[in-house]
Structure 1
Amino acid sequence: MIFARLNENESQGILAEGVKKAIEFAKNNDLASFEKGQHVIDGDDLFVNIVEYTTTDPENRFWEAHKDYLDVHVPISGTEQIDLNFLSNLEKGEYQKEGDFQPAQGEKNTSVIMQPGDFLVCYPEDAHRTAVAVNGKPETVKKAIFKVKID
């Protein structure tokens, strides 16, 4: 997991090339103007899903991880909590190749509060539970989730 700010270029030197491309795209495009749905950037190697939802209690959300793609979460508007734990600490469900979805169950290890200007990179071992309301206060969030193909 990497949690950082979009404008902090010093830390971005360590990022994988596909993640760097996603961050540059986020910095150089008006993501707020993008419609909800999938937008192709570099074929199957890099695309972005624009989503919008209302945050809620953690009990109403689910854990997930991915094997084929890294997630790069970039909030556009609103604030959300993303709970995190290592996939190895959770009870895993059956991996669904279609959709690259690894369900899991268990408790969080830590959380990050995501606001516009932040980004979060989740690797295959990083299970995440998104759309959790900060301090129990539901909020509408619009977010870009870049999918970076793992070679």
Structure 2
Amino acid sequence: MIYDTLDRIGRYRGMGKWLDIAIDFLENMDISKLSYGKKEIAGMDCFINVMEAEAKDEDQAEFEIHQKYMDIQIDIEGMEEIQTGGKVEAMVQPFCEETDFGTVKCDKKASCLLGGGSFIICMAGEPHKPGIWAGGDKKLKKCVIKVRA
């Protein structure tokens, strides 16, 4: 997990080709002006999904896991808590190769607040629980950039 502010995202260049492309995109794009939906940045190796979401109580959210992609998650409007997990104890929703998605049970390892110009990068294989209500309005406008691992 990497948790930082967008004005410092350039510090993470050099970790991978597709991550560098995502960083270039974020440094040169005003994401608050992006319309909802999925847009390719570099084909299916790096793409962004801008969405509206509703934050949930912690016990209603689940740890998700991906194998092909890492996530860069950013709240454009609103604020949510996101947790990263420790050791996977059990599969909840079996992992699906086609959708690169599964849910797992594990203890939380760290908790971060998104919003206010911050971002989190959740590595492939790292359990993370996004969309936890952090107080205030439950409606979020957020983006997730999927970066091939």
Q: Quick one: structure 1 residues 24 and 75, their matched pair in 2 at CA, closer, same or farther if it must change by over 3 Å?
A: farther
Aligned-pair identity in percent equals 26
Partner residue, 1:19: 19
Q: Quick one: structure 1 residues 3 and 78, their matched pair in 2 at CA, closer, same or farther if it must change by over 3 Å?
A: same
Contact 1:6 1:23 in 2 (8 A): no
Contact 2:64 2:127 in 1 (8 A): yes
In the TM superposition, residue 108 of structure 1 has moved relative to its aligned partner by 1.7
In the TM superposition, residue 70 of structure 1 has moved relative to its aligned partner by 0.8
Counterpart-to-counterpart distance in 2, 1:82 and 1:119: 10
In the TM superposition, residue 14 of structure 1 has moved relative to its aligned partner by 5.0
**Bigger strand fraction:** 2
Q: Deviations over 1:90-144 (max 9, x none)?
A: 312421112100211233222101113211111123111111011x544321111
Deviates more, 1:38-47 or 1:13-22: 13-22
In the TM superposition, residue 40 of structure 1 has moved relative to its aligned partner by 0.7
Partner residue, 1:50: 50
Counterpart-to-counterpart distance in 2, 1:27 and 1:78: 21
Counterpart-to-counterpart distance in 2, 1:109 and 1:39: 31
In the TM superposition, residue 22 of structure 1 has moved relative to its aligned partner by 1.2
Partner residue, 2:73: 73
Q: TM-score, normalised by structure 1?
A: 0.87
Please list every run of at least 4 consecutive aligned residues from structure 1 whose deviation after the TM superposition is greater than 6 angstroms. none
Counterpart-to-counterpart distance in 1, 2:137 and 2:107: 21
Q: Quick one: structure 1 residues 124 and 32, their matched pair in 2 at CA, closer, same or farther if it must change by over 3 Å?
A: same
Q: Which runs of 5+ in 2 are unaligned?
A: none
Counterpart-to-counterpart distance in 2, 1:84 and 1:41: 26
Contact 1:84 1:128 in 2 (8 A): yes
Q: Quick one: structure 1 residues 9 and 129, their matched pair in 2 at CA, closer, same or farther if it must change by over 3 Å?
A: closer
Counterpart-to-counterpart distance in 1, 2:124 and 2:41: 21
Q: Quick one: structure 1 residues 9 and 69, their matched pair in 2 at CA, closer, same or farther if it must change by over 3 Å?
A: closer
Q: Which runs of 5+ in 1 are unaligned?
A: none
Q: Secondary structure at the match of 2:108?
A: coil
Q: Secondary structure at the match of 1:8?
A: helix
Counterpart-to-counterpart distance in 1, 2:23 and 2:9: 10
Deviates more, 1:105-114 or 1:11-20: 11-20
Q: Quick one: structure 1 residues 47 and 139, their matched pair in 2 at CA, closer, same or farther if it must change by over 3 Å?
A: same
Matched length: 148
